[in-house]
Amino acid sequence: MNQRLTRFSNWLKDQEHSFAFLTTTANVFYLSKFHTDPHERLVGLAAFPDEEPFIICPSMEVPQVQRLDWKYEIIGYSDTDNPWDKVKEALKKRNICAGTIAIEKAHMNVERSEELQRILPGSTFTSAETKLNELRLIKEENEIHVLREAAKLADFGVEVGVQALEEGKTEMEVLATIEFELKKKGIRQMSFSTMVLTGENTADPHGNPGMQTIKNGDLVLFDLGVVLDGYCSDITRTVAFGEPNEHQKHIYDTVLKAQLAALDACKPGTPIRLIDRTAREIIETEGYGQYFTHRIGHGLGIDVHEYPSMNAINETPLRKGMAFTVEPGIYLPGVGGVRIEDDLLITANGVESMTKFPKELQIIKR
Ligand code: MN
Ligand code: MN
C-alpha cells in the first residue's frame, strides 16, 4: 500500500475500527490520487485495518482509476445499480461485520449514513477526519512542489488582472480576462469563484463580482487561486486605480503592516493564535479592529480551506511543512476595503511565501 494508506490503515487498527468509508473528493484523492467530482453519484474509498482497500465509483469513471497507480479492487456501478449493495458484497468478501465505521462526519449525509447502517446493521460511526486532517497537515515534498507552482499561477492571475484594469470596464470583464489567460495555461478549475471587486464593493470580504465599472480613485481587490494537479492556491491583492486618497492609503498601510508583522511571527513553534493576534493588534491600534471581521487565515492544500484553522484561539504550534494563508483585511462599509493574502509554507526555521506578487501599494494610472 502507499505510505498514506498504510498510515491510515494502521490508525484504523490501533483504534479497533471495522473500516473507513470516505466519500469526499479531497480524502479520496489524498489516499488514492483519484480526483473526481461525481456530483450526486457515490464515489467511495474503503480502507481496512488488515484487508486491501477498494474504490467504488460510476462504471464510466473506472478507466480513470485504472490509469492511476491504484493496485486494488475497483468496483464500478451503473446508473441503474444500487451502489450500496455492491459495497455490501465487497465488505462481505472481506468478512467485515458491524462495528465502528470511520466516516467524514462533516460531509456524510443522512441518506448515505442510513445506507451504511442498512448494509451493516448495528454499526456506529466515528470521525475519520481527525486522523486525515492530521495526516494532511504536514505537506510532503511533492505536495510542496505543486503548491509552489499553483501559487505562481495565482501571482500570474493577479498580474493579468492588474494589466487588464481600465476605466469603465466591469468587474466581470476583468475577471473573464484573468480566467481566459489561466485557461490558456491549462488551468481547468479555479480553487473558488474568482473575485474582482471595485470601489465600495471591496468592503464586502466575500463580495460577488458583477457589472460594477472601474472608476478613477477606486480600490480594486483581486482574490483568486487555481487548482493544479489537485492542489489549491489563494492570493489576494488590492491595488489603487488612480491616485488613492489619504484614507485609502492609511487603510492599505495598516493592512500591509499587519500582514508583514504576522509573516514575521510565522516560524516553527509559534502558536497559531499569535499569528492572528499579531496582525489584529496592529489593526486595532489604528482603530479598525471592528472592521477586521474574519480569522487571519486558513490551511491550504487539496482543499482551499483545510487545517490548520488560523484563528485567534488555536494553540497548535506551527510546524515545518504546514501550508496556510495569512490574509488580514479592513472592510469599511460604504467606503471600501483592503485585504492582502499570501500562501505560506513553514520551513525549518522560518517561513516561505509561495505567492510573490508585490505588496507595496500599486497605483495604476492609465
Ligand atoms: Mn483568498
Ligand atoms: Mn484565503
How many angstroms separate the CA atoms of 192 and 232, rounded? 9
313 CA → ligand 1 middle, Å: 21
Kindly give the distance from the C-alpha atom of residue 54 to the centroid of ligand 2, in angstroms, as a whole number: 34
Q: And the C-alpha cell for 25? A: 473528493
Cα 195 to middle of ligand 1, angstroms: 9
> What's the 242 CA to ligand 2 centre distance in angstroms?
26
Rounded Cα–Cα distance for residues 308 and 310 (Å): 6
Q: How far is the CA of 127 from the centre of ligand 2 (A)?
A: 26
Quote the ligand 1 centre to 206 CA distance (angstroms): 9
As a 3-state breakdown, the chain gives helix, strand, coil percent values, each rounded to 5, of: 40, 25, 40
Ligand 2 centre to CA of 38 (Å) is: 25
- The per-residue pLDDT for 324 is 98
Ligand nearest to the Cα of 205, by number: 1
Is the predicted pLDDT of residue 327 greater than 80, yes or no? yes
Q: Give the integer Cα–Cα distance in Å for 346 and 352.
A: 6
pLDDT in tens, 82-119: 999 999 999 999 999 899 999 999 999 999 999 999 99
How many CB atoms neighbour CB 147 within 10 A? Answer: 22
Q: Cα–Cα distance between 11 and 192 in angstroms, integer?
A: 32
DSSP state of 56: E
pLDDT over 70 for what percent of the chain?
Answer: 100
| Overall average pLDDT of the 334-348 stretch | 96
Q: What are phi and psi of 268, to 5 degrees?
A: -55, 135
Work out the pLDDT band at 275, boundaries 50, 70, 90. very high
Residues 6+ apart with CB under 8 A from 22: 28, 31, 44, 45, 46, 47, 103, 104, 128, 132
328 CA from centroid of ligand 2 (Å): 10
Strand partners, 338: 330
Is the Cβ–Cβ distance between 301 and 143 less than 8 Å?
A: yes
- Number of alpha carbons in the 13 Å side-chain half-sphere of residue 223: 25
Q: How far is the CA of 143 from the centre of ligand 1 (A)?
A: 20
Collapsed DSSP state (helix, strand, coil) of residue 249: helix
Span from the CA of 304 to the centroid of ligand 1 (angstroms): 9
d(CA 63, CA 329): 45
Q: Which ligand is nearest to the CA of 207?
A: 1
Residue 1: pLDDT over 80: no
Distance 161 CA to ligand 1 centre (A): 15
What average pLDDT does the segment 37-55 reach? 95
In sequence order, what are the residues at sequence separation of 6 or more whose Cβ sits closer than 8 angstroms to the Cβ of residue 287? Answer: none
Question: Residue 256 — φ and ψ, nearest 5°?
Answer: -65, -45
| Ligand 1 centroid from CA 205, angstroms | 9
Give yes or no for residue 279 having a pLDDT over 90. yes
265 CA from centroid of ligand 1 (Å): 20
Distance 183 CA to ligand 1 centre (A): 19
For the segment 241-258, the average pLDDT, to the nearest whole number, is: 97
Segment 225-236 shows an average pLDDT of 98
Q: Which ligand is nearest to the CA of 297?
A: 2
Query: How large is the average pLDDT for residues 250-279?
Result: 98
Q: Which ligand is nearest to the CA of 154?
A: 1
Taking the CA of 221 as reference, the closest ligand is 1
Contact between residue 267 and residue 349 where contact means Cβ atoms under 8 Å apart: yes
What is the per-residue pLDDT across 163-205, written as a single tens digit (0 to 9) for each? Answer: 999 999 999 999 999 999 999 999 999 999 999 999 999 999 9
C-alpha 217 to ligand 1 mean position (Å): 23
pLDDT in tens, 289-305: 999 999 999 999 999 99
Asked if residue 143 lies in contact with residue 30, where contact means CB atoms within 8 angstroms, the answer is: no
Ligand nearest to the CA of 294: 2
How many Å apart are CA 69 and CA 303, to the nearest integer? 22
CA of 342 to the centre of ligand 1 (A): 8
Distance 234 CA to ligand 2 centre (A): 5
**Terminal alpha carbon distance of the chain:** 58
Compute, in angstroms, the gap from residue 341 CA to the centroid of ligand 1. 6
With b meaning 16 or more CB within 10 Å and e meaning fewer, what string describes 52-71? ebbbbbbeebbeebeeeebe
Model confidence at 335: pLDDT above 90 = no
Taking 90 as the threshold, does the pLDDT of residue 127 lie above it?
yes
The per-residue pLDDT of the chain, averaged, comes to 97
Tell me how crowded residue 312 is: count the other CB atoms within 10 A of its CB.
13
- Return the closest-CA partner of residue 181 out of 209, 208, 151, 161: 161
pLDDT for residue 220 is more than 80: yes
pTM for the predicted model, two decimal places: 0.95
Contacts of residue 144, defined as CB under 8 A and 6 or more positions apart, other chains included, come to 321, 323, 345
Contacts of 208 (CB under 8 A, 6+ apart): none
Q: What is the pLDDT of residue 213?
A: 98
69 has pLDDT over 90: no
The residue to which cell 461525481 is assigned: 38
Span 2-31, pLDDT tens digits: 899 999 999 999 999 999 999 999 999 999
